[in-house]
Structure 1
Amino acid sequence: MNRIAQGMVLVLLGTAALTSTVFTDLYLNYVQAWFQPFLVASGAVLALLGLAVIASELRLVVRGEQGADDGGHGHGEHGGHDHATAPRVAWLLLLPVVSVFVIAPPALGAYTAENAASSAPPDESASGDFDELGDPASSAPVELKIQEFVMRAWTDDDRAMAERTIELTGFVVPHPDGPDEGWYLARLQMSCCAADAIVNRVLVTEFPGTEEPEKDSWWTVRGTWQEPAGDLQSVRDHRFTVEEMTAVENPPDPYE
């Protein structure tokens, strides 16, 4: 790999970073939204560095050719200038570019949720101080993130969600013990990037129809929390009765 090829690799890497952050929301499959300005800056720096390397090398080539025409007193390969080359393994730097432009790995989904540990109950010192869910007499559904639903189900001693119509959006994860046990509506929560994602999920045991929805499909469901009789934090899977289901397109930001 000569220096011009090295510069082209840098330009392609920078372009991939800019394409996934400026022109699309692809970066949201892997990192939090607040990473965008850093990714944009990194992509711009890589692209500019690559262009600078290419321009510099082209100037040396031109000067070298001119020096050869003048009797060999120029620079570059024709004038005694040694052009450093990178090892062949450097071509592996193109793999991230290929993965973005050709493969475009999707966001983490059901496979990750099946094989990762779900979120654990908070410790006893966790606060159960939550915002009001609106007028308890209202029949309008309360839209919650699955993360908030799970936290309320574990720590809200007032059990404000009881007998309220709750609306949740997530993707379908099959139950490991088979469809007779129901299925999970899940969402992944990440602090920084996809590598630290944890699973928040609710167990749907009653729903319209008889067939479990397709794995990894996204749904907005409306229903009610199956309030447990005992200690909230002793519950492992929070059960949910679905009264209405609507298929939705994958959200731009698949994480919570």
Structure 2
Amino acid sequence: MNRTAQGIVLLLLGAGALSSSAFSDLYLNYVQPGFRPFLIAAGAALGVLGVSVIAGEARAALRGLPGPETAPASGSRADSDDHGHGTPRVAWLLLLPVIAVFVVAPPALGSYTAENAASAPPPSSSGSDGGGDLGDLGGSAENGPVEMKIQEFIGRAWTDEKRTLEGRTVRLTGFAVANPEGEGWYLARLQMACCAADAIVNRVLITNRPEPEEDSWWRVEGTWQPPEGDLRSVRNHRFTVETMDGVENPPDPYE
């Protein structure tokens, strides 16, 4: 691969990073929102570097000077064959991930990952939260449903000994995931600390509504079904749905 081709690859990589971070929210399918400035900076740096490489080769060609790719090869004939013939064909494969960014950008993680990813573990009884008071939910039953993230709902269901969720209407948004054990289905949302590779799943079990299509997004309103006994012993917190509406995929699919 000659220097001009290398510059083109760098330029395309930079354009791909910028198109998914500076000009769209596509980057949210893979990393946390806080990474946006770094992606923009990296894309800009790659673009500038690519342009400088191409411009340098163009100036050398206009002056009639040989570029690095036309310089005499040193070493044995075997070295010449390896570097002059084998490497360029393989090096062009570097364009494949660049093309994929523009043509077939991978979607956000969904039901397949949720079925196989580790579930958020219940807090230990010795944890710093102590299973104590998490404070009031705010508002009142007369003021309508409480909007919550699924991870917040699960955390409160597991740890709030005062059971402030009981009897309150809650609104949750997530995607549908089949229950491999056959009872009902899950409304789920993936939570990531850094990037999609470390995602864990938060989910609530719904048994009073027919299972919708996997990966379809829903906004549900309903109530928590309080379990008997220790909250931390519950594997799947149950949710009784009162209303259920389909929604478009959110810009940020993770919590």
In the other structure, the counterpart of 1:190 is 192
In the other structure, the counterpart of 1:245 is 244
In the other structure, the counterpart of 2:30 is 30
Aligned residue among 131, 144, 148 for 1:144? 148
In the other structure, the counterpart of 2:111 is 110
What TM-score do you get using the length of structure 1 for normalisation?
Answer: 0.89
Offset, 1:17: 0.2
In the other structure, the counterpart of 1:201 is 203
In the other structure, the counterpart of 2:79 is none
The change in CA–CA distance for 1:82 and 1:130 in structure 2 (over 3 A counts) is farther
The change in CA–CA distance for 1:39 and 1:238 in structure 2 (over 3 A counts) is same
2:141/2:168 contact within 8 Å kept: no
Offset, 1:88: 2.8
In the other structure, the counterpart of 1:17 is 17
Aligned residue among 66, 71, 82 for 1:76? 66
In the other structure, the counterpart of 2:77 is none
Provide the rounded CA distance (Å) in 1 between the counterparts of 2:51 and 2:141: 64
Give the secondary-structure state (helix, strand or coil) at the position aligned to 1:229: coil
Letter in 1 for 2:181: D
1:130 aligns with 2:134: yes
RMSD: 1.9
In the other structure, the counterpart of 2:48 is 48
1:184/1:202 contact within 8 Å kept: yes
Give the secondary-structure state (helix, strand or coil) at the position aligned to 1:23: coil
Offset, 1:98: 1.7
Offset, 1:82: 4.8
2:15/2:43 contact within 8 Å kept: yes
Q: Deviations over 1:37-63 (max 9, x none)?
A: 000000000011000000101111111
Higher mean C-alpha deviation, range 33-42 or range 112-121: 112-121
Q: Deviations over 1:154-181 (max 9, x none)?
A: 1011100001001000000001023xx1
The change in CA–CA distance for 1:129 and 1:20 in structure 2 (over 3 A counts) is farther
The change in CA–CA distance for 1:146 and 1:10 in structure 2 (over 3 A counts) is same
What TM-score do you get using the length of structure 2 for normalisation?
Answer: 0.89
Provide the rounded CA distance (Å) in 1 between the counterparts of 2:89 and 2:150: 48
The change in CA–CA distance for 1:82 and 1:47 in structure 2 (over 3 A counts) is farther
Offset, 1:96: 2.1
In the other structure, the counterpart of 1:88 is 89
Percentage of pairs with the same residue: 65
Provide the rounded CA distance (Å) in 2 between the counterparts of 1:216 and 1:33: 22
The change in CA–CA distance for 1:134 and 1:62 in structure 2 (over 3 A counts) is same
2:169/2:222 contact within 8 Å kept: yes
User: Which consecutive segments of 4 or more residues in structure 1 shift more than 3 A?
Assistant: 80-87
1:76/1:82 contact within 8 Å kept: no
Q: Give 5+ residue unaligned stretches, structure 1.
A: 65-74
Provide the rounded CA distance (Å) in 1 between the counterparts of 2:158 and 2:194: 24
In the other structure, the counterpart of 2:231 is 232
Aligned residues: 240
Offset, 1:228: 0.4
Letter in 2 for 1:149: F
Q: Deviations over 1:111-137 (max 9, x none)?
A: 000111211111222414434212344
